[in-house]
Structure 1
Amino acid sequence: MAPTQVEVEGGGVRVVSRRLVRPEPCAPPEQAAETMHLTPWDLRMMAVECIQKGVLLPRPPAGGQHHVEHLASSFARALARFYPLAGRLAVEEIDDDDGGGGASRELRSISISLCCNDKGAEFVHAVAPGVTVADITASVYVPRVVWSFFPLNGMVGAAAAVDCRPVLAAQVTELADGVFVAMSLSHGVADGGTFWHLFRTWSEMSRGCELSTPSPVLERWFVDSCPVPIPLPFATPEDMIRQAEYPPVQECFFHFTAESVKKLKAKANDEMAGEATATISSLQSLLAHLWRAVCRARRLSPEQETRYALPVGCRARVKGLAQGYLGNAVAPVAAKAAAGEVMDKGLGWTAWLLNRAVASVDEASVRGTLAAWPEKPSFLRMADLQKQAGGGMGTSNSPRFDVYGNDFGWGRPVGVRSGGGNKLDGKMTVYEGRDGGGSMALEVCLAPEALARLVADEEFMGAPA
């Protein structure tokens, strides 16, 4: 029987309380006065919404206010290691003279930095007594109520600078038989690597175990030729914000066992034997499987160009960047092809396109891009993906992030979901699988009619568990 969408009866989410949580212990005065300048990697993400991820947990033995206070306390202690994220974005006006003598004109620009002033992260306690764990996990369709489990909904990075809002927030939502623990983090100050580093630190402090990860590296990394701070060609931060109307979308969550991923990888590499000069990875094989299926589900014409964008982590690719670097350290790449080629040339050919896009990122290309950015700044806008006439796709997150290890003290997560931030037709999110060992999961966001066809696609659905 085809999967159906779950309608959650009485699924309203009610906010019980909001508060600001400051690092515990507080940062020393010299740190509280610190200004952290933002890199091109950071500033490029100022026009997108927050990273929003959370885990679905079983019901804690001591429910109610007791466990909420325990989570707030451990969040404050985790925040002490990541104290810049308890700060606020600060805007400075820069007046540039173009050097034209008496006929000179004033060119207005701004800089945006992160002021480590310990004003605090937001902490929200909410309840959803009409929502059960099964409501979220029983169907491949993701119920819309999940978006209400996240704070800072709809906030783009630059908006936090306008309203002096927190760049980080957490929300604990009590369900009928479980709890959902979520975070929202401005993408203008950090990426998914920092997000899950903080989330893991929080869960381990809540659990009371020895921390498995080192403290984050707080010093921002710039190429030598980069001006600091970087002037941005806007009169105000409001000028960076472009409100966009997105068509309706629906989401599905698909699990892929380690065995099914292994088969996709073997098939992709077999098809490219004698042609490929490097091994196609498991992730590239899975995303190629998805790309081909989405082209079919969208019923794209064979000549229509389709584009798959994905982030490439740079912490292991650039000397001087530590694995625990706090901030953005991601290079964007994209593979392009006509839809007919993607659908007809096979899994291996499509996966090889993704492999070559990732391989194009090396230290020289990263440094060159960062050095050139201040002269001609460009900003990621999710609306640009929407403009690609139905042919655009993009993936965020990574299966390398340890999601299911985030036990807060009463059991491992039974699921992971993301919030409504940046959700539009073609947005995909990849996670490690719930069974580990090379299993993976995909959260797929598409127009409703295309998603229905994807779920009915026997070739695609033959791989998920």
Structure 2
Amino acid sequence: MANSAVIKHVSECFIKPKSKDNNAKQPYYLAPGDLAMLSAHYIQKGLLFNKPSVTDEEFNIATFLEKLKDSLSKTLVYFYPLAGQLATQIDEDQHTSLIFIDCEKGSGARFIHATLDMIVDDIVSPIDVPIIVKSFFDHHMAVNHDGHTRPLLSVQVTELVDGFFIGCSMNHAVVDGTSYWNFWNIWSEIHQQQSITSNLPVHDRWFSEGYGPKISLPFTHTDEFIRRYEAPELRKRFFHFSSETISRLKMKANMEVEETDKEISSLQALSALVWRCITRARRLAGDEKTICTMDANLRQRLDPQLPQGYFGNSIWVAKAAASADEVLEHSLGWTAQLLQKAVSELTDKTLRGVFEAWMKSPFVYQIGEFFEPNSTVIGSSPRFNMYGNDFGVGAPVAVRSGYANKIPGKVTTYQGSKGGGSIDLEICLPPDTMSALESDEEFIALATRS
């Protein structure tokens, strides 16, 4: 690998929607789940592709980039808020701020073309994710509130010697993971001139009954609610779990639980394994408290349900807690059942109570404070269609993420690169804890390199 290789920016431009309707001229108000994300980082995920063979005379990078820009412009017609910028109206007398998207403000989505003198294998072969990967994304260390001056969407295409990486940085106060990958899916379909089979974005905002659409925060200065989190030194590794391994884990977990009418899911069983193994790797005292959280899509948990195309943040965390001894001395099934119970408690009634409490006392999540010490944080979802995004050059060979929202114990779940119901995990841990995890017999018996 060329250790001295650096990203070179070749060009940048801004992309606006191909056309606009009247909705794109109106203020786009943010819901509670959006406003609470203002101090978090942008979502940074991207896909790595091989270049078509050099014998394929039809492929030309300049032509390819122009087609990407054109299909992005068409995609933004459906996702028009991403072409705008955040705006704030301050009421000094009430000591409040109304933050919303001005869809006509700003230059549009940024599109960057960069080059790097490395090959695809330099990105996927190292044991740890190479540091250079964070340079595949725009908005490094930006928080969502920066969307007042930065684009809400920035796409960087980094051309490698034998491939390219499309990195997409999207404001997390505007979208969650479901909306984010839905954007990718529709962009891919439009690029290939296919009919759109993914969920078109639904821009009707969801608010608790009696609230909205304008929600003001009880702040007037950014230092009251924006703090910039910097992660400690972390190693980042990808681990692969085959569909057969996951099936065995699920079967084992369900055999070990007390009689229940609810089956433990594959992801709950895998998350329980990871929680156990990370807890052991941390070498905690037996009575120390440990936490495991799992992201939950709320669209189907509310009554009435929201459409899967709901554009915005509709997520909450299911949280389970136990002492280190309890996690390590009980069975996998016992631990998985704790997670299952936490997920099942996210009912319509519970969620409405959460949002109504937030409305009475609004706050903004702080990355470094929202999760307790010794937490294992399971994020994203292997259900998102990542490897189905084909921009006319074949399926992606890998998915990678940027610097954003990484904390000790962060576990990001991905659709397995080998398909067939497999799952890849990106795990972020301090170096000594990662070394202990790599030596954990229970973990390495099941995980392979992604």
When normalised by structure 2's length, the TM-score is: 0.94
Change (3 A) 1:423 1:349: same
1:68 and 2:65 equivalent? yes
- Per-residue Cα deviation, 1:203-255 (whole angstroms, up to 9, x for no partner): 12222222221421112111222243112111133532112343111100011
Alpha carbons of structure 1 residues 202 and 238: separation in structure 2 relative to 1, 3 Å:
farther
Indicate the residue corresponding to 1:142 in structure 2: 129
Q: Residues 45-98 of structure 1: CA distance to partner in whole angstroms, max 9, x if unpaired?
A: 111001111111111452432212221221111111111111111101135xxx
Q: How far apart in 2 are the matches of 1:460 and 1:166?
A: 41
Q: Which residue matches 1:127?
A: 115
> Which residue of structure 2 aligns with residue 94 of structure 1?
91
Contact 1:158–1:238 (CA under 8 A) maintained in structure 2: no
Structure 2 residue aligned with 1:46? 38
1:17 maps onto 2:2 in alignment: no
1:394 equivalenced with 2:377 (yes/no): yes
Identify the match of residue 143 of structure 2 among 156, 177, 187: 156
What's 2:29 paired with? Answer: 37
Cα drift, residue 385 of structure 1: 5.3
Q: Contact conserved, 1:226 with 1:371, CA < 8 A, in 2?
A: no
1:246 counterpart letter in structure 2: A
**Which of these residues, 274, 281, 286, is aligned with residue 297 of structure 1?**
281
1:220-231 equivalences under 5 Å are: 220-231=205-216
Question: What is the deviation of 1:110?
Answer: 0.5
**1:407 and 2:390 aligned:** yes
Q: Distance in 1 between matches of 2:346 and 2:139?
A: 32
Name the CA shift for 1:341/1:366 in 2 (closer, same or farther; >3 Å).
same
CA distance in 2, matches of 1:366, 1:153: 32
Residue 173 of structure 1 corresponds to which residue in structure 2? 158
Q: Within 1, Cα distance between the matches of 2:273 and 2:199?
A: 36
Looking at structure 2, the residues matched to 184 and 254 of structure 1 have their Cα atoms a distance apart, in angstroms, of 24
Which of 82, 97, 100 is 1:110 aligned to? 97
Q: Which runs of 5+ in 1 are unaligned?
A: 1-6, 96-105
Contact 1:158 1:240 in 2 (8 A): no
Distance change >3 Å, CA 316–CA 111, structure 1 → 2: same
Aligned equivalent of 1:182 = 167
* Partner amino acid, structure 1, of 2:306: L
Q: Distance in 2 between matches of 1:382 and 1:214?
A: 30
Secondary structure of the 1:235 match is: coil
Question: In structure 1, how many angstroms separate the alpha carbons of the residues matched to 2:7 and 2:239?
Answer: 25
Shift, 1:348, TM fit? 0.8
Please say if residues 385 and 393 of structure 1, whose CA atoms lie closer than 8 Å, have aligned partners that are also in contact: no
| CA gap 1:88/1:238 in 2 versus in 1, 3 angstroms | farther
TM-score (norm 1): 0.91
Q: Percent identity?
A: 38
Instruction: Specify the alignment match of 1:103 in structure 2.
Output: none
Any idea what SS the aligned residue of 2:217 has? Answer: coil
Q: How many aligned residue pairs are there?
A: 441
- Kept in 2, the 8 Å contact 1:140–1:254? The answer is no
Deviations 1:282-318 (A, max 9, x none): 0011111111111111111111111112211011122
- Once residues 60 and 441 of structure 2 are traced to their aligned partners in structure 1, the CA distance between those partners, rounded to angstroms, is 43
**Is structure 2 residue 231 aligned with structure 1 residue 246?**
yes
Contact 1:249 1:446 in 2 (8 A): yes
Distance 1:44 1:333 in 2: 17
Can you give the 5+ residue segments of structure 2 that lack an aligned partner in the other structure? none
CA–CA distance in 2 between the matches of 1:75 and 1:392?
Answer: 38
Contact 1:289-1:347 within 8 A present in 2 as well = yes
1:131-189 C-alpha deviation (Å, 9 max, x unpaired): 2211222234211111111111111111223xx22111111111121111111111111
Structure 2 residue aligned with 1:98? none
Q: Which residue of 2 aligns with 1:261?
A: 246
Cα shift at 1:335: 0.9
> Do 2:199 and 2:308's aligned partners in 1 also have CA atoms closer than 8 Å?
no
Distance 1:85 1:91 in 2: 17
Matched, 1:58 2:45: no
Matched residue of 2:424: which SS? strand
Structural RMSD (CA): 1.6
- The one-letter amino acid paired with 1:23 is P
What is the rounded CA distance, in whole Å, between the counterparts of 1:253 and 1:63 in structure 2? 32
Task: Give, as a single letter, the amino acid of the residue that structure 2 aligns with 1:384.
Answer: E
- The equivalent residue for 1:100 is none
Q: Give the letter aligned to residue 9 of structure 2.
A: V
The answer as to 2:82 corresponding to 1:85 is yes
1-structure distance, mates of 2:206, 2:244: 40
Who is 1:449 aligned against?
432
2 CA distance for matches of 1:116 and 1:11?
38
CA distance in 2, matches of 1:303, 1:40: 36
- Secondary structure of 1:188 counterpart: coil
Corresponding residue SS for 2:318: strand
